[in-house]
Amino acid sequence: MKQMKKLLALALAALMILSLTACSGLVDKATELQMAALVQGNIDELYLGKFDADYLKSVNSTEEEAKTYYEDGLAAEAEYFAYYFGIEFFTDDLKAELMDLYREIYSHSSYTVGAASTLDDTTVVVKVDVQPIDIFVQVVDGFEAYAADFYAKYTSDVVEAMDDAAYQAFDAEWAKLVLDRCYEKLETIGHEETTSLAVQVVLQDEIWRISDDSMADIDTAMITYP
């Protein structure tokens, strides 16, 4: 499942390439500061839905584009949620509800963008400390007891005997059960121990951009999926 998350994060990073661009130039202190600002602005945009005007100008983007990237990120997380929890019918209503859930979850994002340092002429490394959000650790902990009545109601024999309509209703009930658990754990949402990342900003085709692997690392670290 973690590999699936990594693949989704890489795909999302590729979609957002325009939001990660910055003017090329010599690697000096000013460039290092610009790269740290690039990383800060990008993370703020993707996880907090915060669109800083100076950041948008530096990456030649607009607030409208930034909002699209933010919504794309929420949609990708909603898709992963359905995959992670085994929800088979990913309806439009469910997608919208999950995107709103992640909007709230990501409002609790906790991270610190540190100093940048030059690795070589084409790579600047920015330190990012992330405190992973622990909501799904809480959701999974004790879940079998929480869902005991559901499991008792839907034995394997019962599920196997269902027609298509009954199975879809069963899947919807399962999705609601999981979502209710998530809403319950929003009340106690917290963070795990800090994960330190070395985010690489690389010069490619005369454009500075955050590497896809670093974007995926940030996304994987932001929320813990046990």
- For the chain, the straight-line distance linking the first and the last C-alpha, in angstroms and rounded, comes to 9
User: What's the pLDDT at 177?
Assistant: 98
Q: What is the pLDDT of residues 174-223, one digit of tens each?
A: 999 999 999 999 999 999 999 999 999 988 877 888 888 898 899 999 99
User: What's the pLDDT at 32?
Assistant: 86
User: What's the pLDDT at 57?
Assistant: 84
User: What's the pLDDT at 4?
Assistant: 55
Boundaries of every domain in the chain: 2-136+189-222
- Distance of alpha carbon 155 from alpha carbon 135, whole angstroms: 28
User: What's the pLDDT at 200?
Assistant: 94
Q: What is the pLDDT of residues 2-35, one digit of tens each?
A: 555 555 555 554 444 433 455 555 667 888 888 8
Furthest C-alpha separation in the chain: 68
Q: Say what the pTM is.
A: 0.88
Q: What is the pLDDT of residues 79-97, one digit of tens each?
A: 999 999 999 999 999 999 9
Q: What is the pLDDT of residues 117-159, one digit of tens each?
A: 998 888 999 999 999 999 999 999 999 999 999 999 999 999 9
User: What's the pLDDT at 159?
Assistant: 95
Cβ contact 42:110 at 8 Å? no
User: What's the pLDDT at 27?
Assistant: 67
Other residues' Cβ atoms within 10 Å of the Cβ of residue 78: 20
- Distance of alpha carbon 188 from alpha carbon 162, whole angstroms: 37
137: part of which helix (H) or strand (E)?
A: helix 135-140
Quick one: tokens of 91?
């309806």
User: What's the pLDDT at 225?
Assistant: 95
User: What's the pLDDT at 224?
Assistant: 96
Read off the pLDDT band of 61 (50, 70, 90). Answer: confident
